[in-house]
Structure 1
Amino acid sequence: MTVSGVLFPGGRFSVAELQASCLDGELVPLGIGYLPADAPTPPAVRAAALAPLLTTSCAYVGMAAAWIHGAACRLPEPLDVQRAVPWRTTRTLDRRVRFHDQELAPADVELLGATAVSTPARTLADLARDAVRPDPLHADAGRAALVLARDAATRATAIAWFAAHPRRTHAVAAVALLRSLDEVAPAERAQEDVTR
């Protein structure tokens, strides 16, 4: 079975055949599938590489969404998903998935192919909240937030999301982090212009 060029075990090829192709340099692992070694990996392809793990009522969030958007180098374990429908769902999910039973607003969800993912701005808001927690387990969230925050529109939309949801845990510290990145960005752009 293929989705956006991603091969999954059990279709035309077995796991052994796909892994042998990796050893030959023809394929590389991506998500839970395999992709030709020279194929580009835009967000839609990364989302397709995780599509079989997701039910239609959920969306990837947090570091899983950051990986899909290209802000994280490493696929997180487990993959965080959140309910994207107003009704309760049954948790018939894969063990590689951690389910959060709080509704993700439709405005915070985008479809990449057939896979629902939190928008870059909502992902940045979630990562900023994780980055300011006094927990070393969230160090990757800070790095991924820096990548997503490079886009000024994404950063501004994330700050606006906090204005609409001020009671979220760590909201004040997350907004302070995003505003500090807002101040750093013009200096970085100026430095890039000097080095060109």
Structure 2
Amino acid sequence: MTALLPRLFRPDVLPLAELMALCLDGQLYRVGDSFATLDTPDSAALRAAAFASSAPSHVIADRGTAAWIHGARAAPSHRPQVCVDARSRGGRIPPEFDGRQTTLSRGDVQLIDEARVTSPARTALDLLCVDGRFSPDAAAQVLYLLDRAGVPVSSIKSRMRGSSRTNARRYLARADQLSARARSVLRPFPGPTRSSR
């Protein structure tokens, strides 16, 4: 009779030192703050389950955490990034989370495994509108998320024009840069040139 192993191991199941040793031995790999066996496929559902195992049920994974769950980045944020809808009354956000209140529209949130996560298009919008420097890595994540959502950059620009966000002009300039980058990435390969003989 074979025993069924859990899909994810957390430090409340085995001590962290043992889990890390199993990683070094090549028997487990890290999934956020959890660990999975090598025969467990890495997927959005697995990453969402890892997030849900340590997050309160009323919070929604957003920004960097949502980008990680959707596969746009290799590792989650150092502090899980979450939000709550400003229109709903929910519980407080624990201090170990990078949390915020925001207004969410229909279609902005989806359920993946046990976790509520901002959709790829909403995650792209949130990453585009972060304060501070907009790195090439962040731009690549936004383009990946838009591609996954099947949404062109122009639709994000339209949504930003109708928004009351402060710094909207700066974010629209970023979207213009993304449009140019997307065109250069998607330009067809010119093919081999014929050499004259």
TM band (smaller chain): 0.7 to 0.9
- Count of paired positions: 186
Percent identity over the alignment?
27
TM (normalized to structure 1)? 0.78
Q: Assess if the C-alpha contact under 8 Å between 1:61 and 1:80 holds in 2.
A: yes
1:158 corresponds to which residue? 156
Q: 1:56 to 1:156 in 2, by over 3 A?
A: farther
2:57 corresponds to which residue? 56
Q: How does 1:7-156 map to 2 (within 5 A)?
A: 7-11=9-13, 13-84=14-85, 86-91=87-92, 93=94, 95-130=95-130, 133=131, 135-136=132-133, 139=135, 141-151=138-148, 153=151, 155-156=153-154
Larger helix share, 1 or 2: 1
Per-residue CA deviations over 1:102-151 (Å, capped at 9, x if unaligned) read 34334210110110111111111111112xx4x34x53534422432445
Q: Which consecutive unaligned segments of at least 5 residues does structure 1 have?
A: none
Q: Which consecutive unaligned segments of at least 5 residues does structure 2 have?
A: 193-197
2:8 corresponds to which residue? 6
The amino acid across from 1:36 in the alignment is T
TM (normalized to structure 2)? 0.78
Q: Secondary structure at the match of 2:53?
A: helix
2:184 corresponds to which residue? 187
Q: 1:79 to 1:52 in 2, by over 3 A?
A: same
Compute the displacement of 1:43 (Å): 1.6
Q: Secondary structure at the match of 1:86?
A: coil
Equivalent-residue separation in structure 1 for 2:91 and 2:156 (angstroms): 30
Question: Highest CA radius of gyration, 1 or 2?
Answer: 2
Per-residue CA deviations over 1:48-99 (Å, capped at 9, x if unaligned) read 1111222222101111111111112232122221114733323263x43122
